[in-house]
Structure 1
Amino acid sequence: MDFLLSDIHDDLASSIDALLTKADSPAVARAWADGDRTPAEAVFAQLAETGVFGLMVDDAFGGAGAGAVEMVVALEQLGRHGVPGPLAETIAVAPTLLRAAGVTDPLEAIAAGGVVSVAAAPVQPRAADADAVSTVYLLTGETLSVGTAGAALRTVDPARTVSDVDAGAPLATGVDGSAAVDLGALATAAQLLGLGRRMLSLAAEYAVARKQFGRAIGSFQAVKHHLADVAIALEMARPLVHGAAVGVDGGAPEGTDVSRDISAAKVAAADAAHLASRQALQVLGAIGYTREHDLSLYLTKTRALVSAWGTPAAHRARILETL
C-alpha cells in the first residue's frame, strides 16, 4: 500500500491553506459563532471554486470525481484552520449517500458550494449546524429523506450547533448508507488531525516566545516532552487516516477490513487531537481558554468533533468485534 502523497495532493493542501490563511479563519469562526454567516459563505464560495466541495461528486455533476485521499487532504486543512460548518457532511457524507440512493439532482448544487447537513442514527443522531444550511438529509435505517430540523442546540463549540431531525417524504428506500457513515468518520478524523497540528503549532510558538527565569519555556525539558508526545501521537495517527482513505479508494490489499481501518483512524486522530488540546492548554495556561485567544477555537471544536460520526467507544467496539 502506498501512503505517500503526490505533488497533486501537496498542491491541493497548499492552495486550501493559502486561501484560508488569507480569509482569516479565526475571524470567520468567531463570526459564525455570533450568528453571522456572511464571512463563512464567502469562504465556502472560494472553496467551491477550487473544487473542494465537489471532490466526492462525479464530474458529470460538476464535481472533481476525486477519491477519499483527496478528501482527507482537504479536510485536514479545513480542520487546521478551524473552518466552521458541517464540512464532513457536505463534502464527504452527502455526496456518497445521495449517490448510494440514486438521488443525483442535488449533487450539482453541492459541488457549487451548497452546504448541507446529514443525520444518520444511531451514529450521528443529530444534524450539525442545521440552522445554517439549505437542506438536511436524514437516514433512518435504509430510508433517506429530506428532514425538518428542530431547534438548534448549543454544543461545547460556540461555532457548532446540533438539531434533532424529523423525517419528511422519503427520497429513496433500500439505501445502504454504511459507506457514507464511514466517510463521515474518516472526514472527521482528518479534521481532528488538522486541529491537532494547529494546536501543536500554537503551543510551540508560545513556548519559544514566553520566557520564565530569563529563558524561553520551550527550553525546559518538561515542556519539550509534552510537545514531543503530541507530535508523536499526530504522526502515528496520520498514516492511519491516509491508509484508511487508500482503502476506501480500493488501494488496500485484498481482505482488508476498510471499516475497521476507518475506526482505527478515527480513534487515533481523536486521541491525538485531544492530547494536543490538553498539552497546548498546559503550555499556554488559562489564556488559551479565553475567547480572545485562537487556541480556544480549536480546543472547543476538537471536543465537539471527538464524538461526531461515532464516539471513540463505538469505534473501539467495532475494532474489537473484528479481532
Structure 2
Amino acid sequence: MKELATIKDIAREANVSVTTVSNVIHNRASRVSTETVNRVQSILEKYNYIPNMNARSLVNNKSKLIGVFFNQLTEGTLFESPFNTEILGGVDEILKDNGYYLLVRSISSISEIQQVLKTWKIDGVICLGFLVNDVIDLERSINTPLVLIDIEVDHKNSRSMHLTVGINDWEGSKIATEHLIENGHHNIGFVSYPIVSGGVIERRYLGYLEALNNHGVKQNKEFIFEYDKTKVSLAEFCDEIVKKIDDITGLVFTADYLAIEIMDNLKNKGILVPNDLSVVGFDDIVMSQFVSPKLTSIRQDIRLKGRKAATLLIESLNVDTNQESKKVELPIQLITRESVKKFKK
C-alpha cells in the first residue's frame, strides 16, 4: 500500500519550506505569492493530502473536535427524532466550513459530559435538552467554551457568561392554542413528553395555559396527556386519549414527531384527523408536509438553530478575551395545513 504523503514531502516537491505549506493548508497565505499557493495546492490535491490531526493537536493544543451532547432522558434515542438530525445537520455545516469535526453523544447525566471531556481533547461543547441548573453545574466544572440550545437562562441575573440559541417556546404554544380557539374549539387538550420544571416542554405548557386563560377557556387537567415511553407503550398512551375523545375537539402537541405517531395510531382505532379531532404540532419537521392530513404546525428553522449554535461556538473559540453573554432567539411562524377543523360560530 502506498504511504500517504507528509507535509515534508509536499514542501520538497513544491520547493518551498514546510512553514509555507502549513500556511497554505491553514489559509494563512497572505504573504505567499499566488503562483506558490497554486503550486502547493496542486501538489496537495495530487497526493490527496490529509493533515495529521494528532500532530496538529500536540503543536497548538487544539483538537478541532467539537462535542455535541443530547439529553437522552428528554430527547430519546439520538437519531430517532428528525429534530435531532436537523440540528446536527446545521451544526455540521458550520463546523465543516471551519475545519472542525463532530463528536456526538446522547447522555443521561451531566457527569457523563465531564467524563467525556476528561477522556477526549474537545475544543468546544454544544448541549441540547438539559435543564438550566444541570448546565450551570457543568459550566462551573469545565473550562471549555459552551453553547446551549433550547436551554432558558436568565442572562440579566446570571453571574456566568452564557451563549444560547432558542425560540420563544411559550409564545409558539400560545399561538398554536389560539389557532384552535379561533377555529371554534373550546375543549382543547395538551400532549407532550413528561413536563419537567425549567424545560422546553414546561414553557410550551405555560403558553397553552395562557392562551386558554386569555380567551376565557376553562382548563381541564384531564385533558393534559404526558407520554412517558419508559412506562407505557404508544398504543397504551393513545388509549388514554381515546377515553376522552368525546370531550375533546382539539389537541396541541409539543412536537410534530409525537403528533404524527399519535395521528397514525388513532387512525388505526377509527379516529380521523381533522373530522374527529383537530391537531396542531410544533417544529414543522419535513414529515409534516407529507403525512395525511398535512399537519398544521408551529414552524421553527431547526437547521438554522444548529448553524447559529455552531457559529456562536466558533466565534467564542476565536476570541481570546472574555465575552459577554449572547442570546439568539429565532423566529416562529404558524403554518396552517389540513389538520384543524373549523367549527361554525
TM-score interval, normalised by the smaller of the two chains? under 0.3
Q: TM-score, normalised by structure 2?
A: 0.24
> Larger radius of gyration, structure 1 or 2?
2
Higher strand share: 2
Higher helix share: 1
Q: TM-score, normalised by structure 1?
A: 0.26
